[in-house]
A and B are shown apart, each in its own frame.
Chain A
């Protein structure tokens, strides 16, 4: 069956350190992978999109890698700040060949940045 796996345990990290989150997937071949941030009771906010032919993408303090061989994406927050505390969702475009922007989301990984 198809799965998108993110660590269910919250990541507690000291302010200023780099937080690294993992997204593993099975039985998908996505052409795109996206990361979103979600705060409690709010809608997800788009952060980064990476294509299958891109190894790495950066935006300010965020970095995403995409390894289609390992079927894995890593999401890094460098110089983490308390304001980065949130749940981070990995999302795969699961129907790129059918013309539908259909995202399947992982359960999300909570990050808590400790001052």
Chain B
């Protein structure tokens, strides 16, 4: 199984809402990632987890809060977002966080903040 799943596929939320994005992989990968992608732009790294510990936070605003409950699951908790946070949020995983491993991406969650 080389699949990374993400739920929900689409999410519309107001600026005062709290919501969560979920990501799951069953490939035994030990590194997991959150990316943000705006239209016509490349994916931008937000967070990296390695062995369920936060390894990289790319200076992401605190209204985005990641969580890795276990080696297969990755969550992104959202609170008090701004309209400019509307984007495609991608989860990815790789065998390890060391360089040289390809990343497997999920289909993404299309987030709209109203």
- What is A's interface to B at a CB cutoff of 8 Å? 31-32, 34, 36, 41-46, 49, 51, 89, 93, 95-97, 99-108
Q: CA A51 – CA B108 in complex, angstroms? A: 28
- Given A46, A93, A107, which contacts B40 in the complex, CB threshold below 8 Å? A107
Is A43 touching B97 in the complex (CB atoms < 8 A)? no
Q: How many residues of B contact A (CB 8 A)?
A: 28
CB < 8 Å A-B pair total:
72
Is B42 touching A43 in the complex (CB atoms < 8 A)? no
Type the 1/0 row for B40-80, where 1 means its CB is closer than 8 Å to any CB of A: 11110100100000011000000000000000000000000
- What is B's interface to A at a CB cutoff of 8 Å? 4, 31, 40-43, 45, 48, 55-56, 88, 90, 92, 94, 96-108, 110
- Given A43, A51, A100, A103, which contacts B107 in the complex, CB threshold below 8 Å? A43
Is A32 touching B42 in the complex (CB atoms < 8 A)? no
Q: What are some 26 contacts across the A-B interface (CB < 8 A)?
A: A31-B99, A32-B100, A34-B102, A34-B103, A41-B108, A43-B90, A43-B107, A44-B43, A45-B105, A46-B104, A46-B105, A49-B102, A51-B100, A93-B100, A95-B99, A96-B99, A100-B99, A101-B31, A101-B97, A101-B99, A101-B103, A104-B45, A105-B42, A105-B43, A107-B41, A108-B42
